[in-house]
Amino acid sequence: MTRAFKDKVWLSSPTMHGEELQYMKEAYQTNWMSTIGENINEVERIISEKVGCKYAVALSCGTAALHLAVKLAGIKPGDNVFCSDMTFDATVNPIMYEKGNPIFIDTEYETWNMDPVSLEKAFKLYPDTKAVVIANLYGTPGDLDKICGICEKHGAVLIEDAAESLGATYKGRQTGTFGTYNAISFNGNKIITGSSGGMLLTDNPDAANKARKWSTQSREAAPWYQHEEIGYNYRMSNVVAGVVRGQLPYLEEHIARKKAIYMRYKEGFKNLPVSMNPYDDTIMEPNFWLSCLLINKDAMCKQVRSDSDACYVSEQGKSCPTEILETLSKYNAEGRPIWKPMHMQPIYRMNPFITRDGSGRARTNAYIAGEGADTGADIFARGLCLPSDIKMTEAEQDKIIEIIKSCF
């Protein structure tokens, strides 16, 4: 067929505009090469205004924000925490830092996020659970009304991991405002980036002050280094904040570009036995961070995955994520498997996993799509993330679509 791309087509790489360099230079020229400075103050102000939360605390990364959120929620060793199952492991690690016990909640097909029916089920099984962590995967909000309602009913604190969904809205309200404590990320692959960085968002002034204090080694108000509680070095650098500040005016432009990519894929695949990562356009507007594909069950060729390898048997008219990813890679384009669900990860093999009809533990190794697989395992088996880079040209995307068509 066609030749490989001369320049790699990325999954999602940073897209810079020029202002980033200006603000970084300002930090240098004014000597605020520190975790204090104008860039930090400005990004905190702009984000709280844009997102619509009262307080934004700039931190070294989204994981740090989630860690402080878990601490603010009062998670102590042994405490159960309900958590999204199909997510990036940074959603879960902070629960482990505090020695909590993550209980994974299965995914719904409607949004690819935490299933409210399974969450209700989990509260029946573990009624004393005090906190829920939900991630909005690939920039699509979960069913936040239902999730919030369930948390309220059971008196649980909601932590929203909006690391992938900055700028997405649910019923007109921005993600990152639905939890009592919320996290966003400016990691290099996110919708806008600082090269790294993150923020804790909250409406609670005491929580924001605590997060500020904890993130700067928990110094007490005293003439010397005085300490009454454990601290962290989690504050954002003023240089990183300069990059974020330069990116902020382009958030909407990035979202529009990502949406165009998603729609173009959707149109391009309309005659294939596949669907795109779904969302309900009557109540939500994703930020379309990553475009993903789900192959129909009856169009899956045989695919087997172990903990480190995958193989498949090619079949006319059918395909599988492994075949498509290998083919994309051959043409110098980067796709990625769906984030492998946490209940399938060796590190969490002993943690409970709750599905609609009870516990899905016994079916943990459902690597092959089909009857009996839980929703997360099924989407992992049949789905993949497509090249979704903002700088990808229409011609390049057309070629990606052709390459994928050729797999069937």
Ligand X SMILES: *Cc1c(COP(=O)(O)O)cnc(C)c1O
Could you list the residues that contact ligand X (CB under 6 A)? 61-63, 87-88, 90-91, 135, 161, 163-164, 185, 187, 198
**Joined tokens for residue 64:** 């740090």
Q: Which is nearer to ligand X, 290 or 369 (CB)?
A: 290
Least Å from the CB of residue 379 to ligand X:
15
What is the smallest separation between the CB atom of 265 and ligand X, expressed in angstroms?
A: 20
Interatomic CA distance for residues 122 and 104, integer angstroms: 9
Would you say 113 or 303 has its CB closer to ligand X?
113
Of 87 and 319, which has the nearer Cβ to ligand X?
Answer: 87
Kindly state the tokens that stand for 329: 């890679």
Tell me the closest approach of the beta carbon of residue 198 to ligand X, in angstroms: 4
What's the closest the beta carbon of residue 197 comes to ligand X, in angstroms?
7
DSSP class per residue in 7-21: SPBPSS-----SHHH
**Alpha helices by DSSP H, 205-250:** 205-215, 238-247
Rounded to a whole number of angstroms, the minimum distance from the CB of residue 163 to ligand X is 4
Of 105 and 403, nearer to ligand X (C-beta) is 105
Sequence-distant (≥ 6) Cβ neighbours of residue 20 within 8 angstroms: 242, 243, 245, 246, 247
What is the nearest approach in angstroms of ligand X to the Cβ of residue 220? 28
If the CB atoms of residues 166 and 301 are measured against ligand X, the closer one turns out to be: 166
Question: What are phi and psi for residue 197, nearest 5 degrees?
Answer: 120, 160
- CA dist 123 → 12, 103, 132 (Å): 37, 11, 10
Residue 320, CB-side half-sphere exposure with 13 Å CA sphere:
20
**C-beta of 39 vs 60, nearer to ligand X:** 60
How many CB atoms within 10 Å of residue 153?
10
240 touches 197 (CB < 8 A): yes
Query: CA 200 to CA 114: how far, in whole Å?
Result: 21
- Minimum separation from the CB atom of position 18 to ligand X (A): 23
Cα separation, 397 vs 325, in Å, equals 15
* Nearest distance from C-beta of residue 30 to ligand X, angstroms: 26
Closer to ligand X by Cβ: residue 164 or 374:
164
Query: Do 105 and 125 contact (CB within 8 A), yes or no?
Result: no
Nearer to ligand X, 144 or 163 (CB): 163
Nearest residue to ligand X, scored by beta-carbon proximity? 62
| 48 vs 54: CA distance, rounded Å | 6
